[in-house]
Amino acid sequence: MSREEIFDKVRDVLVEVLAVDEDEVTEQATLTSQLGAESIDFLDIVFRLEQAFEFKIGQGELFPDNVAQDPEYVQDGMVTDKGLATLRERLPHADFATLEADRKIANVGEIFTVDAVVNFVERKLAV
């Protein structure tokens, strides 16, 4: 499946789950701040990607869980070096530019761009 075909399917999933217009789903759009995703939407996205691409997604594989609660990873509202390294290792598909520029915890959501989801699917299909 080409990257374009993957993008089209991912866009369809996001349009359905987040009730956004097709043209809002650009590669650089962030799921939370720009497309308005809330926590339950991430589970919805995982479920629908599984249906669309016929693979299984493990818990925490696409989106991390419990990073923010671990004092090793987050201190004083900022992601630590170890936290950033762990996220990078666990989520090689994500986009860390914004979080690296400003480590505040709110920016963790910014690592999930549409592009990151497409990367994830592409890697998953390649295995």
Partner 1 sequence: MRWLWIDRVVELVPRERLVAIKNVSLAEDHLHDHFAAQGGRVAMPVMPATLIIEGMAQTAGILVGHAEEFREKVILAKISKVVLTREAVPGFTLRYTATIERMDAMGAATSGRVELIDPNDPASVETIGQIDLMFSHIDQNLAGREFPEHNFVFGESFRTVLRSSGIEF
- CB nearer to partner 1: give 50 or 102: 50
Using an 8 Å Cβ cutoff, are 58 and 81 in contact? no
For the bound state, the minimum distance from the C-beta of residue 31 to partner 1, rounded and expressed in Å, comes to: 15
Tell me how far, at minimum, the Cβ of 32 lies from partner 1, in Å: 14
Of 27 and 44, which CB lies nearer to partner 1 in the complex structure?
Answer: 44
Considering the complex, state which of residue 36 and residue 100 has its C-beta at the smaller distance from partner 1: 36
Tokens of 61: 């594989």
Chain mean position to CA 7: 14
The nearer residue to partner 1, 2 or 51, going by C-beta atoms, is 51
Contacts to partner 1 by CB under 8 A: 17, 39-41, 43-44, 47, 50-51, 59, 66, 68-69
| Smallest distance from partner 1 to CB 77, Å | 14
Q: What separation in angstroms does the CA of 40 have from each of 18, 47, 92, 119?
A: 11, 11, 22, 21
The position carrying tokens 């900022």 is 78
Q: How far is the CB of 3 from partner 1 (least distance, A)?
A: 26
Q: Give the Cα separation of 18 and 38 in Å (integer).
A: 9
Q: Give the orientation angle of helix 3-18 with respect to helix 114-126, to 10 degrees.
A: 130
